[in-house]
A and B are shown apart, each in its own frame.
Chain A
Amino acid sequence: MATEKRTIFSPELAARFDRLVTLYPVKRSALVPMLLYSQDEVGYISPEVIVELADRLDIRTNDVESVLSYYSMLRTKPVGKYNVQVCTNISCMLRNGYGILEHCKKRLGIGHKEVTPDGLFSLEEVECIGACCWAPAVQVNYDFYDDLTVEKMDQVLDDYQAGRGKVTV
């Protein structure tokens, strides 16, 4: 049984995966949710994650890598504690999304897909995150901030830096 096997995941996640693979007509259909959950727990898709998922789904590691490389939201390197994802797609672009991105770059001193030396922040330019009606929008980990200005953005980053998490709206 998978749970008795050595696993790199927490017992809760391992148990969740044990169940997940039974929910689909073919086991490998569980791959994408498993990748997402693994990324949440481990922080990124490490080689160890790939090996264990392949093993659990009875597929080859290169199959996992194929799927992994398809989705840009899946990452193979660690990100900062707070992953700042700035949208520059059409609506946000029209409402100064690029301004926000440039500001973040300057303030954090890092570029696209880079991590600050203290590991606190990482920055990413992303496609539409589905908040167009309140553009420009930014997502930090799973939290949304919209109708942003440079000032508001600073406030958001201040809050995270001070360890206050999501305070500003």
Chain B
Amino acid sequence: MADVTFTVDGKKLTAPAGTLLIDACRTAGIEIPAFCYYPGLSLQAACRMCVVRIEKMPKLQTACTTPVAEGMVVQTETEEVKQSRKAVLELLLGNHPLDCPVCDAGGECELQDMTFKYGAGESKYIETKQHREEQKWSPVVYFDRPRCILCYRCVRVCGEGMDVWALGVQNRGVTSVIAPNGGDHLGCEECGMCIDICPVGALTSDTYRYKTRPWEMNHVGTVCTHCGDGCKTTLGVKRSNDGMEIVRGDNRDKSGINNDFLCIKGRYAFDFANRTDRLTTPLVRQADGKLAPVSWEEALTFAANKLNEVRSNRGGNAIGVIGSNRTTNEENYLLQKFARGVLGTNNIDHHRTADYAAFAAALKGKANREASLRDFISAPAMLLLGNDPTEQHPALAWQIRSNVRQNRARLYVANHREIKLRRQAKAAVELPQDGYASFISYLAGNDGAFTGNDANDFREALRKEESLVIAFGSEFRGRDIQALVEFGLSMPNVKFACLGDYSNSRGAADMGLLPDLLPGYVPVASEHKFAEETGIEWPKQPGLDLVQMLDAAGSGEIGALYVVGANPVARYGVDPSALKNTFLVVQDMFLTETAVLADVVFPAANAYEKAGTITNTYGDLQLVKKAADKAGVRSDFELIVRLADKMGADPKKLVPFGKGVRADFGQSRGAQSGEADRHAVWLSANHLEPKLSPFDPFAIFDEIQRLVPSYNVPRLNLLAGNDEHVKSELVQIDTTGSRRDLVLPANDGLYTSGTLGRYSDKLAEVLASKTTEIAETAAD
């Protein structure tokens, strides 16, 4: 829209016509207080805090509902305005309990800030305060009625934002009260958005209430470790007896790919980190068959010697490596480098939750075709094929709903289930469970491929779209992805997103935790740069995939398995006796079904306790920062380096670190220049610091950026905590030949998160409460 010019507090401002005055002012750095206004939600104009004086208008006006107009002259802080705001505060404080010294919101409460600013310490009201006991509405949400200032933010965010509509307002005037849908309890998605958005301490969470005060915590911005969406989250940490404990997860910094959103997992399911049954010492299986705590030295030496023994007696191919969906890119890269370069095997894989390799192949060479999570908040049209984002990709569902609501984006849904997002859909088609491929063929113009109600209208409308993002679930694999991408590319401006399940599933595939593909999807058998650059021998023969490895372990072909942050025994239902004769080394936080069978167990740190990068399922690369700490555990990165070192490998070849002061600055390129030297050349060319420690993940990130072109993204922005999209067009995959389909969808819902989720007490509690709710309804 055309710009208009207006004056606020004597400053000339310009903003597009239609902009709300409050937003225009905030953009220009003029703060206007607001309780009920919240960007992105419908307007309420309930609190009157935002009043300003506008010339030629008779009364004070609410800046949150007034659009800017040409020639408008506004005063935001006159005596009159201050007086009016003070009066509003006086009314609000009339029944506010003033329990700031114990209230969770104390220190970050908008009412407190405003009272401090405008001063309404004295009041003419003499009415006695109406006290009400606090209520527990769900395992997550508590309500303190007297603290509520009736801004209705919670009602709107739950209804409009979440499409749950669990909160309402009952009664009228002074008796108005926020009420949950179940009468005295909530039946909802437990996202905690209402708690986050409450300007005061009326809504509080079971996890955080009365635990600490905001100023007693450190706040670290990092990325959620649960689903594949990769929400930016802020962890509040506090010193505890054995390190730094996480006390709160929230979304203070709304700059992330998730905007305002976090689901229950990002917000409350960090509690696994604080569990008392975490492993904190290495364990080695003793002669009596039991696992017993031993020193690091003993455990590392034992594991290294055994692995060396299997490698020298039976060759590298008698060893298998299983990686994780949640470890960082650097750890994944390092793990495959260790497997290939030190153990000498391509037997490496991970639990695949989406066919990223096929997707990479389909997008090879096609720039700007992969959608970021951010694209779903602005795309004019979206096509959702399969998957149930409300359950499996809550942040995606949030973005889709917001986009439909705020921008009138058009959503097309094709699914074999009645998913909740159909409520936002402009058009929806119900498919048979195995009907996705034929539906794509139908969309591409093959009339005979699909018949179904409304399919024709759906196709007509869809094909008229001039710009579209397509998100598809694990219903699509291999050739189906290829066909889908081909269809998509026949339309203008299409971008794609491949939906996989865990926080770094994408990174595991991108970083070559695959038996046939190296980082960047370079085929193992091809002529590649890795060998030349790293001075390590890389095996050329494709290795065994995860299922083959487990079979081979059972039949004795594999003598040793190294499992990092994964629980294949539970996930693939492996019979424990099948691993009886395999030397099993496991790195994990807990004694999982896999770890109990191990010969050596190393206590590992989780994603909140280390630094590095991870890639969400859309290809958004983000920085993970160390927030918490736990005595006794080590990062998977450090563990891999230490193990390699004990096996006699040169850590410098594995992790290019060192001072680099005597580095070769390019005079003698070629085979002579060792890895650390080459690394130093690259670093100085990129104005980066040399890495001094073999445990510094950024030494490996340097190498990734050097050798995996799709990850060579601008670094400073990333380090500043912003997301950068990987350049998927630069993958070096070889599209010929078909690969075995090993995708096993995790089928996690809102309250589950694989093995990790089982160690979250909060998720367990919520899950149990939902099960009883369902049972109760069923009994009626």
- Give chain A's interface residues, CB within 8 Å of chain B: 59-63, 65-66, 69-72
Number of residues on chain B facing chain A (CB within 8 A): 11
Which of B94-102, B166-174, B338-346, B498-506 forms part of the interface with chain A? B166-174
Assess whether B179 is interfacial by the CB under 8 Å rule: yes
A66 and B165 contacting across the interface, CB-CB below 8 Å = no
The complex places the Cα of A70 from the Cα of B180 at a distance, in Å, of 16
The 8 closest A-B CB pairs, nearest first, are A66-B168, A62-B181, A69-B170, A62-B168, A60-B165, A70-B172, A69-B171, A66-B169
A65 and B165 contacting across the interface, CB-CB below 8 Å = no
Chain A residues within an 8 Å CB radius of B167:
62
B165 and A62 contacting across the interface, CB-CB below 8 Å = yes
* Chain A residue at smallest Cβ distance from B182: A62
Segment 149-175 of B: residues with Cβ below 8 Å from A: 165-172
B171 and A65 contacting across the interface, CB-CB below 8 Å = no
Contact with A along B180-193 (1 / 0, CB 8 A): 11000000000000
Q: Which of A59, A63, A69 contacts B172 (CB 8 A)?
A: A69
Nearest-CB distance from A8 to chain B (Å)?
Answer: 18
Is chain B's interface secondary structure helix, strand, loop, or mixed overall? Answer: strand
A63 and B171 contacting across the interface, CB-CB below 8 Å = no
Nearest-CB distance from A127 to chain B (Å)?
Answer: 12
* Chain A residue at smallest Cβ distance from B177: A69
B181 and A66 contacting across the interface, CB-CB below 8 Å = no
* Apart from the given pairs A59-B165, A62-B181, A71-B172, 9 other A-B contacts in the complex at a CB distance below 8 Å: A60-B168, A61-B181, A62-B168, A62-B179, A62-B180, A65-B179, A66-B168, A69-B170, A69-B171
The complex places the Cα of A117 from the Cα of B563 at a distance, in Å, of 77
Chain B residues within an 8 Å CB radius of A66:
168-170, 179
* Chain B residue at smallest Cβ distance from A58: B423
A-B pairs with beta carbons under 8 Å apart, 6 shown: A59-B165, A60-B181, A63-B165, A63-B168, A69-B172, A71-B172
The complex places the Cα of A61 from the Cα of B171 at a distance, in Å, of 15
The complex places the Cα of A71 from the Cα of B171 at a distance, in Å, of 8
Chain A residues within an 8 Å CB radius of B166:
60, 62
Nearest-CB distance from A153 to chain B (Å)?
Answer: 30
Nearest-CB distance from B157 to chain A (Å)?
Answer: 15
The complex places the Cα of A72 from the Cα of B175 at a distance, in Å, of 12
The complex places the Cα of A60 from the Cα of B167 at a distance, in Å, of 10
Nearest-CB distance from A93 to chain B (Å)?
Answer: 21
Contact with A along B381-393 (1 / 0, CB 8 A): 0000000000000
Segment 131-162 of B: residues with Cβ below 8 Å from A: none
Nearest-CB distance from B707 to chain A (Å)?
Answer: 54
The complex places the Cα of A39 from the Cα of B528 at a distance, in Å, of 79
Chain B residues within an 8 Å CB radius of A65:
168, 170, 179
* Chain B residue at smallest Cβ distance from A72: B172
* Chain A residue at smallest Cβ distance from B171: A69
Chain A residues within an 8 Å CB radius of B169:
66
Chain A residues within an 8 Å CB radius of B170:
65-66, 69-70
Most chain B CB atoms below 10 A, which of A69, A70, A72: A69
* Chain B residue at smallest Cβ distance from A71: B172
Most chain A CB atoms below 10 A, which of B166, B167, B180, B181: B181
Chain B residues within an 8 Å CB radius of A71:
172
Nearest-CB distance from A35 to chain B (Å)?
Answer: 15
The complex places the Cα of A61 from the Cα of B179 at a distance, in Å, of 12
Nearest-CB distance from B404 to chain A (Å)?
Answer: 15
* Chain B residue at smallest Cβ distance from A59: B165
The complex places the Cα of A142 from the Cα of B166 at a distance, in Å, of 36
The complex places the Cα of A23 from the Cα of B740 at a distance, in Å, of 57
Chain B residues within an 8 Å CB radius of A69:
170-172
B181 and A70 contacting across the interface, CB-CB below 8 Å = no
Nearest-CB distance from B303 to chain A (Å)?
Answer: 57
Most chain B CB atoms below 10 A, which of A59, A63, A66, A70: A66
Chain A residues within an 8 Å CB radius of B165:
59-60, 62-63
Say whether, besides A59-B165, A62-B165, A63-B165, A70 and B171 are in contact (CB < 8 Å): yes
Nearest-CB distance from A154 to chain B (Å)?
Answer: 35
The complex places the Cα of A60 from the Cα of B181 at a distance, in Å, of 8
* Chain A residue at smallest Cβ distance from B175: A69
The complex places the Cα of A149 from the Cα of B170 at a distance, in Å, of 38
The complex places the Cα of A70 from the Cα of B175 at a distance, in Å, of 10
* Chain A residue at smallest Cβ distance from B167: A62
The complex places the Cα of A159 from the Cα of B144 at a distance, in Å, of 52
* Chain B residue at smallest Cβ distance from A67: B168
Chain A residues within an 8 Å CB radius of B180:
62
* Chain A residue at smallest Cβ distance from B170: A69
Chain B residues within an 8 Å CB radius of A62:
165-168, 179-181
The complex places the Cα of A71 from the Cα of B169 at a distance, in Å, of 12
The complex places the Cα of A65 from the Cα of B180 at a distance, in Å, of 11
The complex places the Cα of A61 from the Cα of B181 at a distance, in Å, of 8
The complex places the Cα of A65 from the Cα of B168 at a distance, in Å, of 8
The complex places the Cα of A66 from the Cα of B172 at a distance, in Å, of 9
The complex places the Cα of A167 from the Cα of B180 at a distance, in Å, of 48
Nearest-CB distance from A53 to chain B (Å)?
Answer: 14
The complex places the Cα of A162 from the Cα of B377 at a distance, in Å, of 68
The complex places the Cα of A59 from the Cα of B169 at a distance, in Å, of 14
The complex places the Cα of A61 from the Cα of B183 at a distance, in Å, of 11
Contact with A along B599-638 (1 / 0, CB 8 A): 0000000000000000000000000000000000000000
Contact with A along B45-87 (1 / 0, CB 8 A): 0000000000000000000000000000000000000000000
Nearest-CB distance from B717 to chain A (Å)?
Answer: 42
The complex places the Cα of A72 from the Cα of B166 at a distance, in Å, of 23
* Chain A residue at smallest Cβ distance from B172: A70
Nearest-CB distance from A27 to chain B (Å)?
Answer: 14
The complex places the Cα of A90 from the Cα of B239 at a distance, in Å, of 64
Contact with A along B15-37 (1 / 0, CB 8 A): 00000000000000000000000
Chain B residues within an 8 Å CB radius of A61:
181
Chain B residues within an 8 Å CB radius of A63:
165, 168
The complex places the Cα of A63 from the Cα of B165 at a distance, in Å, of 8
The complex places the Cα of A121 from the Cα of B95 at a distance, in Å, of 39
The complex places the Cα of A72 from the Cα of B168 at a distance, in Å, of 17
The complex places the Cα of A59 from the Cα of B168 at a distance, in Å, of 12
Contact with A along B195-215 (1 / 0, CB 8 A): 000000000000000000000
The complex places the Cα of A65 from the Cα of B179 at a distance, in Å, of 10
Nearest-CB distance from B592 to chain A (Å)?
Answer: 41
Most chain A CB atoms below 10 A, which of B168, B169, B181: B168
Nearest-CB distance from A25 to chain B (Å)?
Answer: 15
Nearest-CB distance from B167 to chain A (Å)?
Answer: 8
The complex places the Cα of A120 from the Cα of B369 at a distance, in Å, of 74
Chain A residues within an 8 Å CB radius of B179:
62, 65-66
The complex places the Cα of A65 from the Cα of B177 at a distance, in Å, of 12
The complex places the Cα of A42 from the Cα of B734 at a distance, in Å, of 72
Nearest-CB distance from B741 to chain A (Å)?
Answer: 41
Chain B residues within an 8 Å CB radius of A59:
165
* Chain B residue at smallest Cβ distance from A66: B168
Nearest-CB distance from B161 to chain A (Å)?
Answer: 15
Nearest-CB distance from A125 to chain B (Å)?
Answer: 17
Chain A residues within an 8 Å CB radius of B181:
60-62
Chain B residues within an 8 Å CB radius of A72:
172
The complex places the Cα of A43 from the Cα of B223 at a distance, in Å, of 56
Nearest-CB distance from A48 to chain B (Å)?
Answer: 15
Chain A residues within an 8 Å CB radius of B172:
69-72
Nearest-CB distance from B420 to chain A (Å)?
Answer: 14
The complex places the Cα of A51 from the Cα of B167 at a distance, in Å, of 17
* Chain A residue at smallest Cβ distance from B169: A66
The complex places the Cα of A70 from the Cα of B165 at a distance, in Å, of 18
The complex places the Cα of A49 from the Cα of B66 at a distance, in Å, of 39
Contact with A along B117-137 (1 / 0, CB 8 A): 000000000000000000000
Chain A residues within an 8 Å CB radius of B168:
60, 62-63, 65-66
The complex places the Cα of A69 from the Cα of B181 at a distance, in Å, of 14
